[in-house]
Structure 1
Amino acid sequence: MLLFELTYAVPHGWHDDPRATELMTYAMEKYGGLARKYGLEPSDAAAAAFEVMRMRSTRLAEDPWAVTTHAVELSLIYESRAEGLLCSTGQARRSAGTEYHDAERFSDRESEIADYHPAFHFVDNVDEIDEPKHANPDGDPTNAYFALDIAVRFFVELGWLERTARLGLEIIAARLIRCKERPAAYMSLRRDGTGPGALDIDYEAWLTVLAAVLGNQHHDFAGTTKGHGILQRLVSGEHLNDLFQDTELADAIESVAPAITTRGESHV
């Protein structure tokens, strides 16, 4: 059988034997349509087939092609899923069966994010909400893109490097889009250990950033500016000056600004 010969009969058979090249060419043709079904290239299918064919269980199977076809399709499914979720294939396999949708960029839609995403939609209890310091003269919500940029400026003015501030806010905004609700995004990011490492801050500082950007999730602050968080406040029409006038918020952001380090240093 060819699989046995390539593995045992010929030294470096998978590397040097012309039949291995022919087999991979055939696999590329055989699984090319399957690869395109999942938005991938025939070469991706051939690579998956190569890995499966070298396994002992495939060589011993009654129908090696059936085993290979099934394994290749699963590999293509998870690879396509991984590209959509912007994660590794292993993470995509572990997330099988979950309701996570593919990553979506702000620019993928013509409408502004505040117009269609439920995370930015809420109904205030007028008996509990704080009166805004300054009304928005135009009466229109701030564009979501501008809201993110303004939030970055707010962090930078309080001692953060621009690239660090933007990275942190984009991590939070991406999770907010995925989770759809601010409380869910807050809890997800609170459990995720990648945020502090990405920003070079400790866990407590990370929680301070989350509470500032997404709002304090305690029910006592529901409907207040402290409960709304920076992004919601900006999208609702507040301005950069309003954030600076919130001295408690400004002091919190300034107190957790990462120290400027030389290359190779870390304070986490």
Structure 2
Amino acid sequence: MPFRPIEAEKRSDAAARQIELLILRGILRPGERLPAEREMAETMQISRPSVREAVAQLQDAGLLAARPGAGIFVAEVMGHGFSPALRHLFRRHPEAVFDYLDFRRDLEGQAAERAAAEGSETDLKVIATLLARMEEAHASARPEDEARLDAEFHMAIVEAGHNVILLHMMRSMFDLLREGVFYNRAVIFAREATRDSLLAQHRSINAAIQRRDAAAARQAAVAHLEYVRAALEADFAARSHEDIARLRLEQETQRSQPRG
């Protein structure tokens, strides 16, 4: 017969599996601190030694990391998905910026579609809440907060699709963006007119998701990333033109100087 005896699971193994699932599903995020050992033991209704053993298992697996005097944290595993050499290469070549945006356009269009079709009512409330916070930051002229909330809004859409592979892939992409590997988000949020357009685009994405129009959600997400791409292309072109104009001015200044 194909049946085998069922073995009782150790409490520490069950605790480790529960923490693993929280990391896998993006509920515990890279860099996030775990509760104190006592609190976890009380919440999971197991002994502190069992919690300690579970944490040790996950540290050995590279999913948790101890910081002396600070506690236990979810390891920054996704931040190392790209080697330092590759991140440096991305920074040096603008074409990587546009390939990055094309990649995001394709995957975030899919993510918005999935969120509209498969997101729970709570998922949709999270997305709407983040949009409301973006609107508040926009009204208060806080572009740095607005830029941060922009990333959180997009990640909430990805999370609403409940695809853990897409979730961790996109989180890795946003980590690189947060580090300034591809471009400085402040460039996008520097102009008030651009910020107005971005907020309107985010409203369109949210509206489509809230009414569960999957096709419109995909279309709105794609249009948003295409706008960001065009804005960056214009900024790159303007800087290039300014550099050329400065060279011309320097040359004309030298020509106008009397020669001895």
What TM-score, normalized to structure 1?
0.26
Q: Which is higher, the Rg of structure 1 or of structure 2?
A: 1
Q: Which of structures 1 and 2 has the larger relative contact order (alpha carbons within 8 angstroms, sep 6+)?
A: 2
Whichever structure has more helix as a proportion of its residues is 2
